[in-house]
Structure 1
Amino acid sequence: PAGTLVGAPKVRAMQIIDELEPVGRQLYGGTVGYFGRHGDMDQAITIRTLVFRGDRYSYQAGGGIVADSSAGAEYAELLAKSAVLRSALALAAEGL
């Protein structure tokens, strides 16, 4: 994952994540993008992801936590980010 999503120092942060999280993050926290043949590039950190595999889907959302973060506020932000993905799925299910 990107350094902004795991904290610093990155190696220790990754070790802690590995100890605490029972499931791999998959695409979450990585990047998606492209490299063009003329030297152009565009990348984005995946902090909200929606993945379809066959007839199943999963989604993840998150953000960065810093020293003065409020656990309640961070959780509310996570729920708000997730709500966007849930809404998109509901609209897709309705055929919109």
Structure 2
Amino acid sequence: MEIIDALEPVKRGPYAGVVGYVDFSGNLDTAIAIRTMFVGPTGASLQAGAGIVADSDPSDEDLECHNKARALLATIPAARRMTLRRNSAGTQA
């Protein structure tokens, strides 16, 4: 963690952490958050990564990260349209 803190210019937040739940029956489901996006009043911040394994190809993993980031970015115009529609209908989100 010290190496990550020294090398990465931005704090990860929940990125690359575990997200999950335990239900009332005791079932557990978790996942590693390898793509996250936070949207605030002044903009959006996103992070995307890949699961590196022994036979990973660096260029394929890089492409995977870019594709994941593009998918997140593509949601922003849709969210704007939804917000504009709600606001024009008089319903605030």
Q: Same fold (TM over 0.5)?
A: yes
Q: Deviations over 1:33-65 (max 9, x none)?
A: 212222122212100111133453211100133
What is the distance in 2 between the residues matched to 1:44 and 1:94? 30
Q: How does 1:75-94 map to 2 (within 5 A)?
A: 75-94=62-81
Task: Calculate the aligned-residue CA RMSD, in Å.
Answer: 2.2
Counterpart in the other structure of 1:63: 50
Report the more deviating stretch, 22-31 or 68-77.
68-77
SS of the aligned residue for 1:89 comes to: helix
Query: Which residue number corresponds to residue 36 of structure 1?
Result: 23
Larger mean CA deviation between 29-38 and 47-56 belongs to 47-56
Larger radius of gyration: 2
Q: How many residues align?
A: 83
Residues 66 and 40 from structure 1, CA distance in 2 versus in 1: closer, same or farther, beyond 3 angstroms?
Answer: closer
Q: Specify every segment of 5 or more residues in structure 2 that has no aligned partner in the other structure, as ranges.
A: 86-93
CA 15–54 in structure 1, closer or farther in 2 if over 3 Å, else same: same
- Structure 1 Cα separation of the partners of residues 61 and 39 of structure 2: 26
| 1:25 is the counterpart of 2:1 | no
Q: Which has the higher contact order (CA 8 A, sep 6+)?
A: 1
- Structure 1 runs of 4+ off > 6 angstroms? none
Could you list the runs of 5+ residues in structure 1 that have no partner in the other structure? 1-13
TM-score, normalised to structure 2, is: 0.70
- Residues 62 and 17 of structure 1: CA distance in aligned 2, closer, same or farther (over 3 Å): same
Task: Give the secondary structure class of the aligned counterpart of 1:94.
Answer: helix
